[in-house]
Structure 1
Amino acid sequence: MLSRRAARFRRVFLSLENEKDIINRAKQDPQAFAELFDFYFDKIFHYILYRTGNAEIARDIASEVFFKAHKNIKNFRFMGYPFSAWLYRMAGNEVISYFRHKKFEPSSLEAYLEDNKIDGPASRQDMQQEIIKAQELADSNGAYCAVKQAMLKLDPLYQEVIVLKFLQEKSIKEICEILGKKEGTVKSLISRALDMIRKESDIKYFSSING
């Protein structure tokens, strides 16, 4: 699910130094935030899609995450982990809030970006087509389909580690940064989550928890 700018150009890698430079500029110039939006929106959107199973809801929650990120970026402080960890934490909290209330009323990201003259999502028609495509891709993902129903029965923290490790292929180090937990704790969470899923699903798609 790409913004107009991202459709033309996407970074495949963003070093911490480059990221720090962009964030420092974004604190003063809203236009600089577009680079972060382009690089991270797809990643956060698909994380939320795997958590909720619904592309429409995922799009709304992802929009809310970036709305809040842009509003609060001046408060962001580098603590040795990437900007994405902050975004994933916000996304996880928004997903929990959605499941708790079973409804979602997102702020208008498009209006906010337009007011600040930032390239945002594509047209509504293009966005709807991308939502449909994203839903179809998720529904055809063998690993996701194998555990979807069982995973949604887990506590949010167990859902989170399964999605991050096996569906988004994050390393243990990256998951530690996102959750703010130690390596041993993260590995234990993944192991327990797999044990619970194993009782109800085929997990042949999933590999070792190491890495």
Structure 2
Amino acid sequence: MLTSLRRNLLLRFFHLLYHQLAWAYDAVSAAVSLGRWQDWGAAALPFVNGASVLELGHGPGHLLARLADEGRPAIGLDLSPQMGRLAARRVGGRGFPARLVRGRGQALPFAAAAFDAVIAAFPAPYILEPATLAAIRRVLRPGGRLVIVPQAGLMGGGVLVRAIERLYAITGQRDTGQNGADKTRDYWTERLAAADFDVEVWDVEDGHSAVTVLVATRPTHP
């Protein structure tokens, strides 16, 4: 009962943060990452191949802005109109027109084999739904990559770091059981492999943070 109530309250909070309270998203994200949230998401970029890129759940547009800075403006898809407005202003400030689409990952409104890469940083559970993975595979070219940052964490044992990790556990963003990290990794890789992706897992560390990056490649066979 309490677990179900807590889950529903957390889902409601995250929904508000991504919609009506989108203006506070960056501040909350910075607080729970000690200012590293944007860099955690950007850990996906070195694994992104090609020039035609789609970001799912673009949020306030930080990854889209970084891609624009690299000279390869991407298309972003998100269901939140509030996030769409934030991203449009951020990308537009780079001198590029914001190419944003409001929609769902389960029904991508793009042609088959339209993209070299699809990226998603800290996506909601929809990303592993069979309909979403089938849609992503359809819009990727053979050999194209789905690059996901599913989780990240602060390194070190300070009081503040422990408090933040405890917060992640309370909100269900950490598997705190025995071999929790391995179980989480196995869950992601199994779901991606079941959708006919070749999966690699990378750990990116900078001395302060550890970021998990999943690279799921669409095979070249049909």
Specify if TM > 0.5.
no
More helix by share: 1
Greater per-residue strand proportion: 2
Normalized against structure 2, the TM-score is what?
0.27
Higher relative contact order (CA 8 A, sep 6+): 1
